[in-house]
């Protein structure tokens, strides 16, 4: 077992830090090797293994007949309690994995011995600019270098032999805005391509290409226009501006960030890029006269040499619901109506599964893979969704499927060419949307998404929230609508017939609660006829890829969100997965989750046939008493001060601190602050004294008076929870295994 210090080093280092043992010869990873990867079935070179991003391995030593014998081989521990969302790569006997904030480790893929590790020095202020945790979704390996994006927007090229820095470059245009980098870089035509996140804040989306050898910028493509009065960076923006109100809120940035999915077809020499949601969410605010608002929520086909647009397809024109098209995209050749078509497939947040001709962008088919009420269908003549009356929430609150979490979020889906099926982690959930009652006020570097929504569940993210008290009842809003029970599924989808082949519910012990949809992690499939998926409950399951029958259920004693991968060395096949939950709802550790039972420190776990039980960490002790602890400080805020604090908290704090009772969570319930935290509150917020734990410095956003008001509000909140004994909490259950 080895240990890396990851986040603490990333935050406290005076310089970017790399530690290494004796360097090994650099493996050669180039375009030819990636194109001929099927000659190396035991190698996994990209996040999705290959250029196609299929999350499919041709290995079959582990198969439907023997997968029940899969067990522990080795593990590597990380000293970070934040979420791990990346999938490792294995090249020439070395496993490379990225972690929170853009840390990287290189390990011997047979023994787990650490070869080197790298932790970037990041700007602590970037921590507060994340909507969904300080996560990182992967790295790229190319021509003797490992490329990774750090949270604060720097792109690093590391020498693959020892992890030393070959070059680094700042990818962010304006650090005063809410930009971060959480996505993986991609390689296209010897260029390193990277996007960014921050649409909920005030980011203006773009994707940038850099020379892999020097870090010199080759081109940049903005996904939404800036103020037309200032001109356009490239011709595509002039056309896009015609789909926006001339009086749009240009100063807000307007979103469209490229925070995850890309793919590259070397034969066609086309780079595919998925773009994100808008800010503010409601088009009525950001572009009052309407319009499609290009290129939000779109799949873009770009020339990788110069960044010019070849074609685009917008999945959600004029997006009002946070329906990103940043979900993983898969390249495949499918037999459709007797003709082999080169396609790109995506299951974005909006609930429709899209199959496009990846040469021309022609829509070949689109059908709902989950419950959708915002649109009845996709018109095949126009390629556009046909919106329903239920989609419109500008004048009255509406219950809308899917929720802002999407029918499918970032968790990778996988395509198995042997079964012809795509395996999608699916969320069945609605959201109740309403418009804000206060006029829009732009906050530089702050949250600007503006729209208000809750989930149809009990708790502070749902029906027990302050917002819920201003809305019609759930019974009234859900009349005539589908069942609002929140559930999660793994669905096997036939992309040719656009039909469901099979499904397995992945709600765990949380059916009907928000945590149900975060239990099912990313997916990997193999030529051994298997589908692997990790769960927040701590179970890694292996299913028959053809039927969905569960063939193995391995207790990993650690929560999982990331997609697994598999590799082979000297005839032995291994399965590897990064563990550690986080990002959005995953930051709350509730009873029934492995993070609640065993803590959430990251761990890479590797399995092999004939291995034993996975070693468990010691169980975490929790106070399981009913009720709510008496706050250690007295009420002292005026009604005006508390109200001001509530507004500040909603704008700047609630995106992380939802104050749901997940004791032991990476993101604390601030109603449960102890006396020490109360006494240090000002220093924590204004001086960053807990930056090593992931709590950023807000001194450039908040005054001392505003921090005091926020503190008074939290004290009031704690006393109300104590007096009412209504701190939302799930009943304690043992750590369920599926």
Residue 39 DSSP code? G
Q: Which residues pair with 387 in a beta bridge?
A: 375
Q: If you search the block for the tokens 């609660």, which residue do you land on?
A: 513
pLDDT at 99 over 90: yes
> How far apart, in Å, are the Cα atoms of 430 and each of 350, 486, 512?
11, 8, 11
| 714 lies in some domain | yes
Cis peptide before 295 (omega within 30 of 0): yes
pLDDT at 689 over 90: no
pLDDT at 17 over 80: no
Task: Copy the structure tokens of residue 237.
Answer: 């923006």
Distance CA 360, CA 719 (A): 60
How much is the average pLDDT of 571-585? 92
How much is the average pLDDT of 28-43? 94
pLDDT, one tens digit per residue, over 639-664 is 899 889 888 887 778 777 766 655 44
Given strand 421-428, what is the order of strands in its sheet? Answer: 414-416, 421-428, 487-494, 499-505
Distance CA 374, CA 387 (A): 6
> How far apart, in Å, are the Cα atoms of 195 and each of 126, 203, 220, 606, 622?
16, 11, 10, 30, 40
| Highest averaged pLDDT of the listed ranges 125-134, 279-288, 697-706 | 279-288
pLDDT at 14 over 50: no
Q: Range with the lowest mean pLDDT among 40-44, 65-69, 167-171, 456-460?
A: 456-460
- Name the percent of the chain lying above pLDDT 90: 74
Query: Greater confidence, 452 or 99?
Result: 99
Cis peptide before 280 (omega within 30 of 0): yes
Q: Range with the lowest mean pLDDT among 89-103, 183-197, 393-407, 456-470?
A: 456-470
> How far apart, in Å, are the Cα atoms of 362 and each of 159, 375, 380, 591?
41, 20, 10, 47
pLDDT of residue 456: 86
pLDDT, one tens digit per residue, over 588-616 is 788 899 999 999 999 999 999 999 999 99
pLDDT of residue 697: 82
| Confidence category of residue 460, pLDDT binned at 50, 70, 90 | low
Measured over the CA atoms of residue 559, residue 560, residue 564 and residue 567, the dihedral's sign is negative
pLDDT of residue 586: 67
Instruction: Give the count of beta carbons closer than 10 Å to the beta carbon of residue 421.
Output: 24
pLDDT, one tens digit per residue, over 256-310 is 999 999 999 999 999 999 999 999 999 999 999 999 999 999 999 999 999 999 9
pLDDT at 11 over 70: no
First vs last C-alpha separation in the chain? 27
pLDDT of residue 727: 46
Distance CA 635, CA 646 (A): 15
**Is 669 annotated as catalytic?**
no
Distance CA 83, CA 100 (A): 7
Name the active-site residue from 265, 322, 513, 669.
Answer: 322
Distance CA 350, CA 363 (A): 16
The average confidence (pLDDT) of the chain is 91
pLDDT of residue 311: 99
| 671 lies in some domain | yes
Helix (H) or strand (E) holding 652: helix 639-652
pTM of structure:
0.92
Which phi and psi (to 5°) does residue 378 adopt? -105, 125
Task: Copy the structure tokens of residue 685.
Answer: 């917020």
Task: Copy the structure tokens of residue 367.
Answer: 């059908």
pLDDT at 55 over 70: yes
- Which residue, 508, 410, 506, 517, is CA-closest to 457? 517
| 673 lies in some domain | yes
Q: Are 730 and 663 in contact (CB under 8 A)?
A: no
Read off the CATH number of the domain in which 686 is found: 1.10.760.10
- Name the percent of the chain lying above pLDDT 70: 92
pLDDT of residue 452: 83
| 584 lies in some domain | no
Instruction: Give the count of beta carbons closer than 10 Å to the beta carbon of residue 30.
Output: 12
pLDDT, one tens digit per residue, over 388-447 is 999 999 999 999 999 999 999 999 999 999 999 999 999 999 999 999 888 999 988 888
Residues 423, 59, 264, 95, Cα dihedral to 10°: 110
Q: Range with the lowest mean pLDDT among 55-64, 363-372, 500-509, 653-662?
A: 653-662
Cis peptide before 402 (omega within 30 of 0): yes
Distance CA 226, CA 232 (A): 7
Task: Copy the structure tokens of residue 457.
Answer: 């569940």
Q: Are 79 and 7 in contact (CB under 8 A)?
A: yes
pLDDT, one tens digit per residue, over 243-255 is 999 999 999 999 9
How much is the average pLDDT of 721-727? 69
| 656 lies in some domain | yes
Which domain, by its residues, includes 667? 639-724
Residues 563, 669, 203, 182, Cα dihedral to 10°: -30
Q: Are 591 and 584 in contact (CB under 8 A)?
A: no
| 533 lies in some domain | no
Distance CA 146, CA 22 (A): 17
Domains identified in the chain, total number: 1
| 655 lies in some domain | yes
| 717 lies in some domain | yes
pLDDT at 334 over 50: yes
pLDDT of residue 655: 72
């Amino acid at each position: 077992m080895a240990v890396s210090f990851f986040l603490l080093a990333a935050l406290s280092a005076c310089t970017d830090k790399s530690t290494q043992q004796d360097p090994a010869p650099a493996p050669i990873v180039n375009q030819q090797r990636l194109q001929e990867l099927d000659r190396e079935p035991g190698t996994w070179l990209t996040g999705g293994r290959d250029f196609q991003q299929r999350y499919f391995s041709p290995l079959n030593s582990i198969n439907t007949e023997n997968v029940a014998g899969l067990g522990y081989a080795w593990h590597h521990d990380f000293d970070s309690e934040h979420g791990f969302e990346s999938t490792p790569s294995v090249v020439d006997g070395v496993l490379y994995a990225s972690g929170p904030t853009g840390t990287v480790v290189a390990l011997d893929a047979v023994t787990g011995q650490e070869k080197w590790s790298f932790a970037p020095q990041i700007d602590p202020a970037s921590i507060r600019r994340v909507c969904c945790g300080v996560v990182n979704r992967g790295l790229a390996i190319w021509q003797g270098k490992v490329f990774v994006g750090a949270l604060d927007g720097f792109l690093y090229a590391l020498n693959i032999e020892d992890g030393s820095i070959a070059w680094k470059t700042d990818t962010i245009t304006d650090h005063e805005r809410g930009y971060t980098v959480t996505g993986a870089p991609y390689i296209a035509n010897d260029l390193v391509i990277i996007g960014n996140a921050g649409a909920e804040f005030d980011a203006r989306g773009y994707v940038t290409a850099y020379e892999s050898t020097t870090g010199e910028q080759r081109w940049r493509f903005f996904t939404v226009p800036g103020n037309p009065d200032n001109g356009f960076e490239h011709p595509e923006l002039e056309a896009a501006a015609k789909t926006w109100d001339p009086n749009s809120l240009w100063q807000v940035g307007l979103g469209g960030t490229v925070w995850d999915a890309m793919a590259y077809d070397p034969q066609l020499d086309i780079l595919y890029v998925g773009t994100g949601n808008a800010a503010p969410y409601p088009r009525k605010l950001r572009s009052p006269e309407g319009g499609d608002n290009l290129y939000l929520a779109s799949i873009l086909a770009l020339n990788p040499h110069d960044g010019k647009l070849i074609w685009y397809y917008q999945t959600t024109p004029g997006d009002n619901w946070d329906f990103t098209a940043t979900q993983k995209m898969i390249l495949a050749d499918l037999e459709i109506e007797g003709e082999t078509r080169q396609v790109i497939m995506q299951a974005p947040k909006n609930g429709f599964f899209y199959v496009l001709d990846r040469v021309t962008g022609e829509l070949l088919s689109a059908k709902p893979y989950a419950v959708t009420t915002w649109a009845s269908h996709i018109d095949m003549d126009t390629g556009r969704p046909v919106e329903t009356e239920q989609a419109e929430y500008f004048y009255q609150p509406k219950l809308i499927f899917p929720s802002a979490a999407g029918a499918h979020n970032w968790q990778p889906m996988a395509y198995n060419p042997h079964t012809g099926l795509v395996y999608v982690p699916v969320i069945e959930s609605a959201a109740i949307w309403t418009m804000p009652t206060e006029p829009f006020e732009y906050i530089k570097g702050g949250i600007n998404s503006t729209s208000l929504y809750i989930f149809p569940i009990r708790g502070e993210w749902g029906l027990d929230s302050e917002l819920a008290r201003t809305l019609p009842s759930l019974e009234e809003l859900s009349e005539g609508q589908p069942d609002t029970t929140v559930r999660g599924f793994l669905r096997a989808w036939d992309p040719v017939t656009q039909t469901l082949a099979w499904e397995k519910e992945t709600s765990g012990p949380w059916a009907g609660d928000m945590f149900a949809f975060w239990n099912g992690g990313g997916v990997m499939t193999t030529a051994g006829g298997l589908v692997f998926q990790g769960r927040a409950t701590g179970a890694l399951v292996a299913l028959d890829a053809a039927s969905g029958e569960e063939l193995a259920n391995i207790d990993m004693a650690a929560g999982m969100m990331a997609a697994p991968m598999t590799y082979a060395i000297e005839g032995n096949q291994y399965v590897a997965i990064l563990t550690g939950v986080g990002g959005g709802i995953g930051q709350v550790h509730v009873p029934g989750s492995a993070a609640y039972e065993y803590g959430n420190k990251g761990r890479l776990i590797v399995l092999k046939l004939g291995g034993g039980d996975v070693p468990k960490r010691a169980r975490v002790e929790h106070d399981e008493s009913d009720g709510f602890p008496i706050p250690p400080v007295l009420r002292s805020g005026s009604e005006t001060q508390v109200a001001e604090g509530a507004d500040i908290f909603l704008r700047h704090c609630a995106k992380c601190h939802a104050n749901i009772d997940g004791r032991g969570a990476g993101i604390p319930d601030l109603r449960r602050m102890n006396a020490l935290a109360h006494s240090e509150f000002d220093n924590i917020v204004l001086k960053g004294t807990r930056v090593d734990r992931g709590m950023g410095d807000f001194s450039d956003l908040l005054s001392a008076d505003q921090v005091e008001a926020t503190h008074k509000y939290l004290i009031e909140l704690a006393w109300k929870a104590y007096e009412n004994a209504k701190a939302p909490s799930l009943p304690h259950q043992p750590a369920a295994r599926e």
